[in-house]
Amino acid sequence: METTSATAATKNTRSTAAATASRTTRSRRSTEKTTAKTTDKSAAATTAANATTTAAKATSRRTAAKSARSTTRSAAKSTARTATKAAAKTALSPIPGLVGEAPAPTIPVTEPGQFGRVNILDITPNEERGIYPARVELGETFEVTAQVFIEGRTKVGATAVVRTPRGKETARRAMTCVNPGLDRWTVELACGERSDAKPWDADFAAVKRQLGLWTVTVEGWEDTYRSWLHDAEIKVKTGDDVENALDSGAELLARWAVTKDARLNAAERNLLKEAAAKVADRALSPTDRLAAATTDEIRALHETNPLRDGLSESAPQRFKVERPKSSFAAWYQFFPRSEGAYVDPATHKIVQGTLKTAVSGLERAKAEGFDIVYLPPIFPIGTTNRKGKDNALVAGPDDPGSPFGIGSALGGHDTVDPLLGTMDDFKAFTARAHELGLEIALDFALQCSPDHPWVKEHPNWFRTKPDGTIAFAENPPKKYQDIYPIDFNADMPGIEKEVERIMNLWIEAGVTIFRVDNPHTKPVRFWQDVIAAVTRRHPEVLFLAEAFTRPGMMRALSYVGFTQSHCYFPWRNTKEELSEYLLETNGEDGYYQHNTFWPTTPDILTAYIRDNGIAGHAVRAVLAAMGSPSWGIYNGYELIENQQRPGFEEQRDNEKYEVKVRDWRRADKYGIAELLTSLNRIRREHADLFSYHNLTLLPTHDENIIAFARHTPAELTANGKADTLIVVVNLDGHNAHQDEVHLELTDFGIDPDKGAHLRDELTGREFDWHWDNFVSLAPWADVAHVLTVVR
């Protein structure tokens, strides 16, 4: 697989380089059509004749390939000579009586590694080995940086160009030099526009056509206008060689007006021509002549439609653009068997819920604003070594067992547990979810109970101990006596084929996402093969990795197709830990590993959640919803279920081993459900802000106050207005804290003379902020501010 991918990448690189040279040649020929027409025809005829002769004499593919490369080099040399002659001719100024200077030419790049007239290096993000492109969601904002420079003290500019998988240009944005000493330029971009279309919607077909490998090309160019202006202002002020300086400016403006690359309209061309005439008019004073070239209109034109000499392109950088919900998602988890469960008054035993009663969970998720419902395994549960309450080794007669002990005589991974219903019931469940606008994510735990059909049908899929027994799962000192792990060494292709069959079956039943249990304990190549096969047939399907492991493994899983992953957010609780983790999640790693922030799961209940009560639940919800584009809630959070099992960081009376009967009427008493609903509303209303690449920490002093901001410029929002979100959180669930938050106004496009008028999206209160701003947060009132800039 890797060899094939590398070969394809090499071919794409060569193809792209040729396309780049072709576009450059076409652009120059268009600009110089009158001067170079005869020469171009001659060169083209000569090249065609040479190519025909070579092809006729070719005796093998190798000879033909060598000839083609030779022809390309000859054509490139011919083109370069033509460009040089054309540049010399266009050096003649459009203004009578003036002789213009030869502008920097565009030097053709005919093979990888060659530099153009302007140098471009170290573009980020970059593909590892040219194989694994950065991943972004359709419409998600992201940052591209590069080193762009030229020799001497000549000024340069840089532009980033975004193109679809079909090569259509969709955006062209000026880059900003943020570190002149290091020649570092940066720009914020987006591939396409955000969409909330679901895979079953009619308009998803239009979204689907936009997915795939987009490219970003960095263009470097000599900034002739800025270089001239720098020197001309000094010369006019000191009276040094003034006429030559102003004549050069007049010629430059006149040439700018007729340059097609500048993409000027008639009014803009006339503006430049008129300015050129004034600058060349020796009847005016030098100061007035210079002023004609430096009006606000011309400076603005320089920002939007500059004269770009010596235009040089980088190799296109690829970005894998994925569908909506690949990055920006809100998950809600519940166990169907607990939804609608009740205690039978006659027997005093719990009657579990079904897929039909579980519709109540869908409706609750919808009401709270979530868009993905995640279900634990819904397959038959084994009886051998079935676990009892709180992971007890011996199950009682009424214990339902863990849904992760998959498989019984009733079926395996391709069967609905009869206690939950039938496959038709599941299809009706997913259909109702789709009516509510909810996607269904199904847990896929690749493990078996001793009763799973695979144990008899494929005994070689399991590891056998020397005594002939199958080894159950363990992670010493932990043991999972009700689970047999899969052994991939004997028949990985056979296991792959079966997993692909099963996943396709659930996809046909309405599943659009798989949450994969412990993928890091299986071969990475296994997932690479399976995900490639499944998404080739169903490109809309997403994968969430429930993996807590080393960075290298996490990166590899993201490379092979896991669009999101669980992470260490639950254990990052201090200001220092959170500051580091927010930047890690929303930084360079965010181009590959999309961390989904879950405050709790059936397996995780931290001491912070245990010890900080309602305020602690509110704090962690705000941090999760605002700190990552993707977040999730395990149901029961609304009811403050925070009792730990003694000696473990997980819930007591764990739902993994029993059916929960909940009184959802109590949720109003705590206010957490209302908070979750508000957080999801804020996220929807400011969707353009939720990227893995636009979070900034804001300085504070108190160790219990953390503040951060998200910002998206006007050019990248749906309504054309800049959007800024400021989050301030008191991490102490018991005490009030006051602090000062510093906001670097200009970094967020805020006029320092006016300051920022903010609205707290949680309370509706409004504030006026400037550089340094007092905040006071108390756990019995407001644990956090979620502020948007109103004006």
Question: Which residues does the annotation mark as catalytic?
Answer: 517, 546
* CA dist 362 → 350, 426, 435, 662, 713 (Å): 22, 13, 10, 15, 36
Query: How are beta strands 372-375 and 439-444 bridged, if at all?
Result: parallel
Query: How are beta strands 176-179 and 596-597 bridged, if at all?
Result: unpaired
Residue-wise over 106-139: b if at least 16 C-beta within 10 A, else e?
bbbbbeeeeebbbbbeebebbbeeeebbbbbbbb
Compute the distance between CA of residue 743 and CA of residue 260 in angstroms, rounded to an integer. 42
- Beta strands in 381-485, from DSSP E residues, in sequence order: 439-444, 447-448, 473-475, 478-480, 484-485
The per-residue DSSP string of 120-173 comes to EEEEES--BTTTB-EEEETT-EEEEEEEEE-STT--EEEEEEEE-TT--EEEEE
* CA dist 724 → 107, 677, 743 (Å): 42, 20, 12
Q: Nearest Cα to 517, choosing from 527, 502, 505?
A: 527
Compute the distance between CA of residue 191 and CA of residue 207 in angstroms, rounded to an integer. 12
Compute the distance between CA of residue 146 and CA of residue 178 in angstroms, rounded to an integer. 10
Phi/psi of residue 423, nearest 5 degrees: -65, -35
Binding-site sequence positions for alpha-maltose 1-phosphate: 387, 447, 482, 518, 656-657
Binding-site sequence positions: 387, 447, 482, 518, 656-657
Compute the distance between CA of residue 672 and CA of residue 634 in angstroms, rounded to an integer. 13
Alpha helices in 258-304 (DSSP H): 266-280, 286-292, 296-304
Compute the distance between CA of residue 609 and CA of residue 614 in angstroms, rounded to an integer. 9
Q: Nearest Cα to 229, choosing from 262, 254, 253?
A: 253
Q: Nearest Cα to 779, choosing from 708, 706, 713, 730?
A: 730
Compute the distance between CA of residue 543 and CA of residue 61 in angstroms, rounded to an integer. 43
Q: Nearest Cα to 194, choosing from 676, 744, 712, 568?
A: 712
Compute the distance between CA of residue 764 and CA of residue 782 in angstroms, rounded to an integer. 12
Compute the distance between CA of residue 473 and CA of residue 499 in angstroms, rounded to an integer. 20
Question: Does residue 376 have a cis bond before it (omega within 30 degrees)?
Answer: no
SS3 283: coil
Query: How are beta strands 705-712 and 695-698 bridged, if at all?
Result: antiparallel
Compute the distance between CA of residue 381 and CA of residue 402 in angstroms, rounded to an integer. 7
For residues 786 and 759, the answer to whether their CB atoms sit within 8 Å is no
Phi/psi of residue 40, nearest 5 degrees: -60, -45
SS3 379: coil
For residues 373 and 334, the answer to whether their CB atoms sit within 8 Å is yes
- Give the dihedral sign, CA 568/569/574/580: positive
Compute the distance between CA of residue 147 and CA of residue 149 in angstroms, rounded to an integer. 7
SS (H, E, C) 476-510: CCEEECCCEEECCCCCHHHHHHHHHHHHHHHHHCC
